[in-house]
Amino acid sequence: METVAQLDDVPENGTLKVDAGGENLLLVRSPMGIFAIENMCSHAYQELDGGRVRKVFIFCPMHGVRFDMRDGCPSGQLTDKPIKVWHAEVDGADIRVDFTRRLDKGQ
């Protein structure tokens, strides 16, 4: 597990870009928890940073593709390629990511 940010650095229903574990990582905070996902839409190769967050979903800011942050799976017809998702947890004030534990379907 690697500490990648502080919980207070990620706004409620918002995102934080982090370079960690050799990845362009996006931390997402929603009422459903903290998620660590790849910061790249698998359809338009647009960063997901700035996308709308709703429960366990993030929407690409370019074309609105919806990704489930639990397993990386997209919805709709623009892409069927999942994004990468890693196990993340909050430990006190720290956000920790396990880069050896992928949760996405595209592994």
Domain range summary for the chain, segments of one domain joined by +: 2-102
Other beta carbons less than 10 A from residue 78's beta carbon: 17
- Looking at residue 106, its pLDDT comes to 67
Tell me how far the alpha carbon of residue 40 is from its chain's centroid: 9
* Cβ burial, residue 98 (10 Å; 0-12/13-18/19+): middle
Mean pLDDT across the stretch 78-93? 95
In the structure, what pLDDT confidence band is assigned to residue 76 with cuts at 50, 70 and 90? confident
CA–CA separation, 2 vs 86, rounded Å?
11
Query: Residue 100: which residues within 8 A CB-CB, separation 6 or more?
Result: none
Report pTM: 0.94
DSSP assigned state of 104: S
Average pLDDT over residues 14-29: 96
Length of the chain equals: 107
Looking at the domain that runs over 2-102, which CATH code has it been given? 2.102.10.10
- Residue 66, pLDDT above cutoff 80: yes
